[in-house]
Structure 1
Amino acid sequence: MHEIAAFDLSAILPFILIGFAAQLVDGALGMAFGVICNTLLVAVMGVPPAVASARIHVVEVFTTAVSGISHLLHRNIEWPLFFRLLVPGIIGGVTGAYLLTSIDGNIVKPFILGYLVAVGLWLLFRGLFYPPKFRKPKVIAPLGLIGGFLDAAGGGGWGPVVTSNLLVQGAEPRKVVGTVNSVEFFLTLAVSATFIYHLGLADIAGATLGLLIGGVAAAPLGAFMAKRFSPKLLLVLVGVVLTATSSFGLWKFLAG
């Protein structure tokens, strides 16, 4: 009976819509899939943080694969940046996944969310009042390490941390979004394997089919949008999404 219910369209339709909307934002702006889905699973459905993060990363293996291929086809990837983010990101992600299965990952959460609110406001201000001037980012490997760790430990954080900080350093928005999304496939693959090893497949299996269907369907559209948005519009949109999601997360944490 449970198996049949899992494939009931009316039961998974809300998750399809959430997965579609979250991945559309993530594919176009380089962030928010994990944050939106994690908020839903933990705050609304009461799923334990480690299980929620594990489910999200399993879904993201598929959504980031499609998104990465789409960004590749649209030439949104900067390969030197890709390789400089890849290894530190995987190391940070595996470490975060391992620690989350044994400790409370919420200890540093309010500090990170407060920081991301400030970064979002800065990007919004910069996008509205200062024309973007592109330059090569200098701080890359530490961003990959921290972003990977926070992504696994918090169920989302790779995009907000890495994308926003690369944009603050002056990197081209379209290339940042495409590159960060593409690296995320390898990050989520490593993180998912770590979670499955420590939690087992039984804890991962759940109401994730809808998120998967919606996310995969939206992934190609996000890459298409990222290529066609102007750099100024991308900065403003990233600032709005980052500020809104981080502020909501901080409010929810403090209220709870």
Structure 2
Amino acid sequence: MELFGIDLWAIVPFILIGFAAQMVDGALGMAFGVITNTLMVGLLGVPPALASQRVHIVECFTTATSGISHLIHGNIDKRLFFRLLIPGVIGGLIGTYILTSIDGDTIKPFVLIYLAAIGVWLLVRGLLFPPKLREAKHVAPLGLVGGFLDAAGGGGWGPVVTSNLLIQGAEPRKVVGTVNSVEFFLTVTISASFALHMGISHIAGPTLGLIIGGIAAAPFGAIVAKRISPKVMLIMVGVVLSITSAYGIWKAWG
């Protein structure tokens, strides 16, 4: 079955991936980009720059929906929002430039190692959760590094920024909502930069599936963030990302 030249049955798996990844991301403030990018790079063999471009185009839609949902549910810290915004955008632009300037086959194993490290980080974070609440102090450098790694790795803003803010002791609900909201502006910037460097001719099909699944799940994430303990989900995401990334590394260097 086709619509506008797109095989709808072929994008069903991507719809499911987008839905599941966004449910986790909306609840934890992390993992949409990392989950989808790990699957595309590690299991499907998509070049890192193309995978990152697809992820960030999808996240323009999912983060907008998720950010609005978190705003409605009062999950956003305005002060933290502006402390993350500018450094995150600057880091994203730097990461995009570097990723599009390096051969995909050269950087792919290193991107997978980075993603595997994030998986281990999330697993440890889940086992140690939760910290004592206190105001986060190291925000601007964190935003810069998170934005850079997000562009370079096709995901990582949430895992890097959310996990670090939680380690510093910030309120989990506010962290999740604020990080998701800032991510909208970051992904729009990164997507525009990728379009400038790579064009937009390779974004149909799978990207559409991810968008449909992600948008469908986004409104539920803000609700889940209030009602489910992040501990078990952090551990599960850490295990999945570690295994899939390790497989991708073995496939790239095997």
| TM-score normalised by length of structure 2 | 0.89
* CA distance, structure 1, for counterparts of residue 179 and residue 242 of structure 2: 19
| TM-score normalised by length of structure 1 | 0.88
* Residues paired across the two proteins, number: 249
- 2:48 aligned with 1:53: no
- In the TM superposition, residue 116 of structure 1 has moved relative to its aligned partner by 2.9
After TM superposition, what 4+ stretches of structure 1 lie above 6 angstroms from structure 2?
Answer: none
* CA distance, structure 2, for counterparts of residue 47 and residue 110 of structure 1: 12
User: What is the one-letter code of the residue matched to 1:242?
Assistant: G
- 2:25 aligned with 1:26: yes
* CA distance, structure 1, for counterparts of residue 141 and residue 95 of structure 2: 14
Q: Which moved more, 1:114-123 or 1:26-35?
A: 114-123
Aligned counterpart, 2:101: 102
Aligned counterpart, 1:238: 234
User: Which runs of 5 or more residues in structure 2 are unaligned?
Assistant: none
- In the TM superposition, residue 15 of structure 1 has moved relative to its aligned partner by 1.2
Are the structure 2 counterparts of residues 48 and 146 from structure 1 closer, same or farther at C-alpha, using a change threshold of 3 Å? same
* CA distance, structure 1, for counterparts of residue 39 and residue 244 of structure 2: 12
- In the TM superposition, residue 114 of structure 1 has moved relative to its aligned partner by 5.8
Q: Percent identity?
A: 61
* CA distance, structure 2, for counterparts of residue 52 and residue 234 of structure 1: 27
- 2:218 aligned with 1:216: no
The Cα offsets for residues 91-131 of structure 1, whole Å up to 9 and x where unpaired, read as 0011111111111544753664464345324322323xxx6
* CA distance, structure 2, for counterparts of residue 189 and residue 111 of structure 1: 26
| 1:38-187 to 2 correspondences below 5 Å | 38-104=37-103, 105-106=107-108, 108-109=110-111, 112-113=114-115, 115-127=117-129, 132-187=131-186
* CA distance, structure 2, for counterparts of residue 47 and residue 114 of structure 1: 17
Are the structure 2 counterparts of residues 112 and 12 from structure 1 closer, same or farther at C-alpha, using a change threshold of 3 Å? closer
- In the TM superposition, residue 134 of structure 1 has moved relative to its aligned partner by 0.5
8 Å CA contact 2:63, 2:181 repeated in 1: yes
User: Which runs of 5 or more residues in structure 1 are unaligned?
Assistant: none
